[in-house]
Chains A and B, each alone.
Chain A
Amino acid sequence: MSAATAPASAPPAAGGPTGWVRRHRAALVVAAFVLLALGVALLTRGEQGNTTPYDPANAGEDGARAVARVLAEEGVDVETARSADELAEAGAGAGTAVVVTSADELGESTVDRLRDDTRGARLVVVDPGPELLRLLDRPGSPGSVDGGDPIEAGCDDPLFGDLRIEVDQAGAMPGSGCFADTLVTTGDLTLLGAPQLLTNDQVLRADNAAVALRLLGQDERLVWYVPSYADLVGDDGVGLRSLLPGWVLPGVWVLGLAGLALVLWRGRRLGPLAIEPLPVVVRAIETTRSRGRLYRRSGDRAHAAATLRAATRARVRARMRLGTAEETTLVRDVARHVGRTEAEVGDLLGSTGRVPGSDRDLISLANALAALEEEVRRS
């Protein structure tokens, strides 16, 4: 190729950044999106605080930090326990109130520990579910209460007698109590079915704040317990079976039986297997191969070399029509024929040739013999 044609044959887009950008456009777009997503994630991460509903440290709409702060300012000693162990350390007893939020995360074992660790204390459970009610020996499920409108106390409890609450959603607890049964007190246990009156967002509606403070501020000390799933042990909590409809398990049995019938249906053959009286299969080359393996196992290079040489001699003899000539004559004629020295051909071909000292030598001897044969055939 001449120098003048070389630049012309180069692809036009090979140099220059624009060409590179065009070729990697898709990759660049993907990379930009990934960077953007990473940036957004980093920026928003800092804004995440405590988001657990009704948590005393949650300053969001559904948090309860306002109530906790006010209680602390009013002189109540507010402690937060975030695990069963912390609750046990808090040592709640007589003269202490324990409020339980995130009650969904309580299981059988944590309820037992809760009962043991708060013996003598006043216990307020916020928004318990049906399973927890059963564990607390108040079986039943929360009924519905119309939210949105103020609810009169409607009970003769002196603490709440003149108050009204107003929340978006509420649920009636089993038993009878105040505020359309959303606040039921039996002995030391109080069930609160209108948890939203504790939230920062709704605490200022109607008399929510007063109800919250009167409910939680009766004692000098308040332990705010936020249970965690991590404290559950073994087969605690809710089993899968209790959540499924009753017919599912027998249905699985029916499916299994149908599967068994399917196997029996497809597995039954229409008559016995057709059998073939097979003939003897012997590969004709088998014995030769085994002989080769035998040579190899015994490592008899001398014998293998002698055999290869003899075979080549026989073929060359036939090729050059030398009949039953002496070996020296053969070597001389072959050397003259292919233009090599007599000593070289004698060493390669003769029965007195060198015995290969290693496997590598044997392989090269075999190939040299084949090459010699080819030379004789060509010339």
Chain B
Amino acid sequence: MAITGRVPLLVLLGLVAVVLRPGAGTVWLWLLLVLLLGLADWLLAPRPAALTFVRRPVGTVRQGHPAQAVLVVANPTGRTMRGVVRDAWQPTAGATGDRHRLRLGPGDRAALVTRLQPVRRGELRALGVTVRLPGPLGLVARQRTVDVAGSVRSLPPFDSRKHLPSRLARLRDLDGRAAVRVRGQGTEFDSLREYVRGDDVRSIDWRASARTSNVVVRTWQPERDRRVVLVLDTSRTSAGRVDDVPRLDSAMDAALLLAALAARAGDRVDFVAGDRRVRSRLRSAGVRQVSADLQDAMAELEPVIAEADWDALAGAVQGFGRQRALVVLLTPLEPSAVEEGLLPVLPVLTRHHRVVLASVRDPALDRLATTRTTLEEVYDAAAAEHAGQRRRRTADLLTRLGVDVVDAEADRLPPALADHYLSLKARGLL
């Protein structure tokens, strides 16, 4: 039940009655009159339970982009229904204009459109539909909240998409380049062409040159059909926020750029995410599909306050196949977590694969280390230096174990990781 603004106005009208006939009795009589009118109005008000609701699926939308939630209301009764409907969504779904005026004749139906603009990644849910139908006098309304399930799937924003064109251009440069200095396992012979100045003399094909009057070089195509496995750590260390963005989101951004790049380069991309257990696993589909599939797989991942079980994650990586792969571990370079969790399983991975660790660095650590005005700040600086040294030591340790460490700030990590991938590809190290 809810009252409308007419009730206080009606009560206020009692002032006239009181002036005409002063006394406490008049007040009570007027109150009784208002109550009786209200009760009658409530009894005569239509029942919200009679309305039926159907929600059309909203589908998926990239974070920060608009979507529309459509709710179809039908009035199967013989009465006209007037009132207000509120289609409530959780606040980060960014619903605007979620209150709708309702006027439905007998047997009518109407589609109520609420605009959404998700500001958070994940499955954002509708919280319920509230209907308020006032009685014929407009004094008292019946109100009821119905649960009409619905959700919008908000995909990671993929802000690093802007770096993709420049990296693709560099990938094309690799193609058909004569001077692949080190010919790795994956480098493939492409074609023969005439020598031009600047080509590596080591790539001259003497046998072919002997047959023609010109000097001929062999060109090489960068290796193709390699495997890239992205391992996303969703454990407690990924929950940490760097400039109010969770490390997990920055890592996802880097993973999406690398996946898009690797798919265009003709490599297969597999994805596994987890903490105590594997949360999400994705085998690569078509080249074009990778980004969309990955975003969909990442949409609902949230950091968990638990230690990562690297045994399980390494097992999942092995489960994708025994072929040599580039394994990218997207996990923060947290000395204790890495030393206790990751180090024991690293030999298993490095034996079969090339391993890269991509970590989001916190610029606040550097700021903390360089601010040294008060005593408190000096102690903080000492603590920051300590943390920095441990990070460096851990990074050195990992490098000695044959793991490449890419440690960059949140907005630099995606291009840095992509560049590292390109350099590996150029050197034929995949």
Contact = CB atoms under 8 A, between A and B. Distances in A.
Interface of A: 245-247, 250-251, 253-255, 257-259, 261-262, 264-265, 268, 270-272, 274-277, 279-289, 291-296, 303-305, 307-308, 310-311, 314, 359, 362-363, 366-367, 370
A271 B3 CA distance: 14
Interface in B382-409: 382-389, 392
A272 B372 CA distance: 50
A304 B88 contact: no
B318 to A, nearest CB: 30
B375 A363 contact: yes
A215 B24 CA distance: 49
Given A265-B2, A288-B368, 13 more contacts: A247-B18, A250-B26, A251-B15, A253-B24, A253-B27, A254-B15, A257-B14, A272-B88, A279-B246, A285-B365, A291-B387, A307-B389, A311-B386
Identify whether the interface residues of A are mostly helix, strand, loop, or mixed: helix
Nearest to A291: B383
Contact of B387 (A265, A270, A281, A288): A288
Contacts of B15: 251, 254-255
B30 A280 contact: no
B176 interface: no
Given A280-B239, A284-B242, A291-B386, A296 B375 contact: yes
Nearest to B242: A284
B3 A308 contact: no
Which among A279, A281, A291, A295 has the greatest number of chain B C-beta atoms within 10 A?
A: A279
A254 B27 contact: yes
A284 B128 contact: no
Given A289-B380, A291-B387, A271 B130 contact: yes
Interface residues of B, number: 70
B124 to A, nearest CB: 9
Identify whether the interface residues of B are mostly helix, strand, loop, or mixed: helix
B42 to A, nearest CB: 13
B379 A295 contact: yes
B376 interface: yes
Contacts of A246: 22-23
14 contacts: A253-B24, A258-B8, A261-B11, A270-B84, A272-B145, A281-B239, A284-B242, A288-B383, A289-B380, A291-B387, A292-B383, A295-B383, A296-B376, A366-B372
A363 B90 contact: no
Interface string B232-250: 0000100111100011000
Interface string B8-20: 1101101100110
B161 interface: no
Nearest to B6: A265
B185 to A, nearest CB: 33
Contact of A370 (B364, B372, B382): B372
Contact of A285 (B3, B7, B364, B376): B364
Given A268-B2, A307-B385, A367-B372, A275 B90 contact: yes
A280 B303 contact: yes
Nearest to A309: B385
A279 B380 contact: no
